Structure 1
Amino acid sequence: MMKTFSVETVVSVLQSVVPAEERRVPLHEPVFEGNEWLYVKECLDTGWVSSVGKYVDRFEQMLCEYTGVKHAVAVVNGTAALHICLKLVDVQPGDEVLIPALTFVATANAVHYCGAIPHFVDSSQKTLGLDPVKLEQYLQEIADVRTDGCWNRQTGRRIKAVVPMHTFGHPVDLDRLVDVCQRYRLELVEDAAESLGSYYKGKHTGNWGKMSALSFNGNKLVTTGGGGAILTNDESLGRLAKHLTTTAKVPHPWAFLHDMVGYNYRLPNINAALGCAQLEKLPKFIERKRSLVQTYLHAFEKIEGVQLFTEPSFAESNYWLQVLLLDESYKDHRDELLEATDRAKIQTRPVWTPLHRLPMFQQCPRMDVSLAEQLERRIINIPSSPNLEAANHGEA
C-alpha cells in the first residue's frame, strides 16, 4: 500500500536507512580502511612529500589500469585537469564551449580560464546529464559546419568543444554524443569528475573524449584530499599534458629551462600515496554503494511522490551521490524537506543552481534549458557514503 507523501514520512524513511548517531550524518564522507596510513607514513619517513615520488607514478599507472585509458596525469584538482584538457583540444579565447546548464560551476570556470565562453545546453531526464538529442536539434538551428570547424550563426563565434558531465556518476548517452561531435566537427572532452568507477556499455567513462578529467576531492569516491587527473588515449597529448602541468620545465640535471607557458598543477607525492590506497579499495566502495541503492529503493518504493533515481539502461553507475527525485507536483516541498533533514541531523542538499542564472554567466548563450530548470527544483541528494551500507550489514 502506498503511503501519502509528506516531509515527515520521507525523513522517517531516511532515518530507517542511515545509522542513528549523535553527530550529523554526512552527505558523503571518505573511508580510510586500507593502506592509507602506511603509504602516507612512508612519504613522511622518506621526505618524498612534494610533486616528485614513486606514488605519483604509481597512482597514474593504477588509474590507467582501472579505467583502460592509456595515459593519466595526476594534477592538483579536477578543475585544473579540465582546464588543461580544454587547452589541449585547442580551445581558444573567444571560442564557445557547449556545457550543461546543470553542472558544478567548475565546468564553466575551466572554460572561462581559457578565455572561452560557456554555451549552456539542456539535460536529459534519463541521465540527468547533457542531452545529445536536444543538442543535435539545437545545432541544426544555430550552427554552420565549415572546413575550419563549427560556427554559431547567431554570435559569429566558433563552437569548438562539448563537455558532458556525468552527473552524480551516471554516464550520458556517449554514442549519440560522439555522433553529434563527429558531424559538427566538435571536440569531445568528458568531465568525468564524478564518474570514477562508472561504465558506459561496459567501457569506463573517460574513453570517449579526446581528453577527460577526474576529481579526487574530499567528497569523491576516491580522494587524495584534493586532486584530479587528466585522461587521454593520445600519447602525444598525454606527454604534453604532463609537461604543461609541471611548469613546462625541460628535463636537465640542474638548469631551469622552460619552453612554454606552463602551470604548477602537479599532484604532490603525499596526496598520490593516499590515492593509491584508495584505489585499492575502490571495487569494495562501489559494491557497497550499489548495495545502498537497493536499500534505498526498497525503503522508498511505497512512498507517493518521490523516487530514487537509477542508472540508465546502457550504463553501470558508481552512484557517487544518491538522488531523490520529487514528482513535479511535490517540487514546492523541496526546501521544507531540506530543512527537516537538517533538523534531524541528516545532511542533504539541492542540486547546483543552473549556471546560466549565476551573475557571471547570465549573458552567455544558451538553448532552452527548461528540463534542467525543472530538475533543479526536484532533485535532493541524500547520504551516500560507502560506509553507510557497511554499517547496515554489520561490516567492520
Structure 2
Amino acid sequence: MIPLAVPNLNGNEAAYLQDCITSTFVSTVGPFVNDFEERIAALSGTSTAAVLCSGTTALHLALEGLGIGEGDLVMVPSLTFIASANSVSHARADVWLVDVGASDWMLDTARARAAIESQTDAHPDGRLHRASGKILRAIMPVMVMGAVPDFDGLIALAKEFGLRVIVDAAAAIGTTYGAQVPLGATGVDAVCYSFNGNKTVTCGGGGAVAAQDEALIARIKHLSSTGRVGANYDHDIVAYNYRMTNLQAAVGMAQLERLEDFLAAKKSIRDAYANFAANSAVLSAFPEPPHGQNGHWFSGFWYTGDTPEIGAKFRAHMKAAGIDLRPFWKPLHLQTPYLDAWAEPMPVTGDLWERIFPLPCSTHIPDADKATVLAAAAAFWDNHGARA
C-alpha cells in the first residue's frame, strides 16, 4: 500500500536522539526543547513560543491562556479536523460552527460577519450571542492543507467585533502571508502548530503556540507544566502536564534543518496532481489562495461534477490498486459530539467534503510510487469519461 503521508527521517534525527540518550535528557527538560522553541518563534516572527505535546493542547492552552472558557463561544469552521472543536471543549467553551468559502475552503468571513451582526449584541468581552446567552470571544481560522487565509480580512473582522484570533496552523509550518510576513506577525493573537507523524515537520507528536504577547506564552508554559511554582512541589493553579520532551524536540530540530526542501517537495507533488486535474472536465486542484506561501501539506484533487457518489467508487478503486485514499474530514456539524452545537447553514461544506481526494504526498515519495498513483487515477477517470 502506498501510504498517504509518512515522515521523512533521513536527516540528523537519529544522531540527535542519540545525543538525548547519551546526555540522559530524555524528558521535558533539555537543550533541544529550548532550541526548538526559539526556532519556532523565529519562523513565526515572534519573540517567544511554547512547545507542547500535541497540536490539540496547543489550541487548548492558547484559548485558556487568553481567558476563554466556560460561558464563551469560539467561531470555528465546520470543515476541519475534530481537534479544532475539541480544543474549545477542553477549554470548557462552546463552538459556533460556520461554513467555509467555496474558493479557499477556509472560514468564510462574510458569512461569519453576517451571523455575528444578526445574532449578537455588543458586550465588554466580545459579543453576546442572544440565543444562548454566551459570549462570543474568538474566531479560529483553520489553514486547511497549509493554505494561507486572508489575514487582513480576518483581523478586520475580529477588531470590528472585539474578538481574539487563534489560528489553527496545524499543517502550516513554514508558510508566510503576503510579502513573506511570518504568521505570528500578521496581528493574530496566537498561532498553533501540530507536529504529528503525518505533518510536513514531525516530532512524532507535539505542538506549539507562537505569539507576540510574551505574557501569554509565559502563562501557557505555566499551565502546561502543572502550575508548578519554584523548585519545590508548590502549585498555584489546577494545570496540565502538556510539555514536549527533549526527545520530540530533537526530532523536530532535525526536521527543521530540511524545512525548505520539504516545502519544495510538497509543492512539486501538488503541481503533479494539479496538472493531472487540469486535463479533466470534472476534477480540480485543491485551492491555491493568493494570500501567501502555501505549505501544501496534503495535495490531490476534488470532484466538481454532478454525481458526487462517484467518490466512493474512486476511493475503492484506489484502495484496490494499493493506494491509500481515505475520506476527507467529516465536518464538525455532522460529528456526534457537535450535533447540538450552534451552527450556521453549511451549503459549501455540506456539498464539498465527500468530493475531496487527498493523495499520497510524503516528501520523499518515490517517483515510481507517484507514477503508480497517477496511473491508477487515470485508469479510473478515463473509464468514467472524465479525462480529455
The reply to whether TM is greater than 0.5 is: yes
| Aligned counterpart, 2:243 | 266
User: 2-side partners of 1:172 and 1:351: how far apart?
Assistant: 20
SS in 2 for 1:189: strand
TM-score (norm 1): 0.90
CA distance in 2, matches of 1:148, 1:234: 18
Q: How does 1:103-114 map to 2 (within 5 A)?
A: 103-114=80-91
Q: Which residue of 2 aligns with 1:357?
A: 334
Aligned positions of 1:1-396 closer than 5 A: 24-201=1-178, 202-207=180-185, 208-252=187-231, 255-388=232-365
Distance 1:310-1:391 versus aligned 2 partners, 3 A rule: farther
Which ranges of 4 or more aligned residues in structure 1 deviate by more than 4 Å? 389-393
Matched residue type, 2:344: M
Distance 1:36 1:148, change over 3 A: closer
Whole-angstrom distance in 2 between the partners of 1:224 and 1:212? 18
Superposed displacement of residue 61, structure 1: 0.8
Structure 2: how far apart are the matches of 1:190 and 1:165?
6
Deviation at 1:186, TM superposition (A): 1.0
Q: 1:149 to 1:66 in 2, by over 3 A?
A: closer
Contact 1:51 1:266 in 2 (8 A): yes
Aligned residues: 368
**Residue deviations 1:38-66 (CA, integer Å, cap 9, x gap):** 10011111211000000000111111122
How far the C-alpha of 1:145 sits from its partner, in A, is: 1.5
**Deviation at residue 69 of structure 1 after TM alignment:** 2.0
Partner Cα distance (1:329, 1:48) in 2: 57
What letter matches 1:375 in structure 2?
L
Runs (5+) with no aligned partner, structure 1? 1-23
State the 1:94 CA deviation: 2.0
Shift of 1:273: 0.3
Contact 1:97 1:117 in 2 (8 A): yes
What amino acid is the match of 1:351? F
1:350 aligned counterpart, secondary structure: coil
| Superposed displacement of residue 315, structure 1 | 2.1
Distance in 2, matches of 1:293 and 1:371, equals 23
Contact 1:168 1:320 in 2 (8 A): yes
Question: Is 1:296–1:308's contact at 8 Å kept on the other side of the alignment?
Answer: yes
Q: Look up the SS of the partner of 1:323 in the other structure.
A: strand
Query: Do the aligned partners of 2:203 and 2:248 also contact (CA within 8 Å) in 1?
Result: yes
Return closer, same or farther for 1:332/1:206 CA change in 2, 3 Å cut-off: farther
Note the C-alpha offset of 1:300.
Answer: 2.7
1:391: how far off? 6.7
SS in 2 for 1:151: strand
Given that residues 74 and 230 in structure 1 are in contact (C-alpha distance below 8 angstroms), is that contact kept between their aligned partners in structure 2?
Answer: yes
Residues 71-96 of structure 1 deviation map (CA, whole Å, 9 limit, x = unaligned): 11110000011110010111121211
8 Å CA contact 1:222–1:279 kept in 2: the answer is yes
Note if contact 1:129-1:165 (Cα within 8 Å) is conserved in structure 2. yes
Alignment check: 8 A CA contact 1:99 1:164 kept: yes
CA contact (8 A) 2:27 2:246 kept: yes
Counterpart CA distance in 2 for 1:276 and 1:184 is 39
| Cα displacement (A) at 1:309 | 1.4
CA 1:97 to 1:363, structure 2 compared with 1: closer, same or farther past 3 Å?
same
Identity %: 32
Question: Counterpart of 1:10?
Answer: none
Check whether the contact 1:206–1:213 (CA below 8 A) recurs between aligned residues.
no
Alignment check: 8 A CA contact 1:190 1:211 kept: yes
Q: Is the 8 A contact 2:283 2:305 kept in 1?
A: no
Q: Partners in 1 of 2:167 and 2:207 — Cα distance? A: 13
1:67 offset after TM fit, Å? 2.2
CA shift, 1:286, in A, is 0.3
Compute the displacement of 1:359 (Å): 1.7
The Cα of 1:295 is off from its aligned counterpart by: 1.9
Q: Rate the CA distance shift 1:310–1:354 in 2: closer, same or farther, 3 A.
A: closer
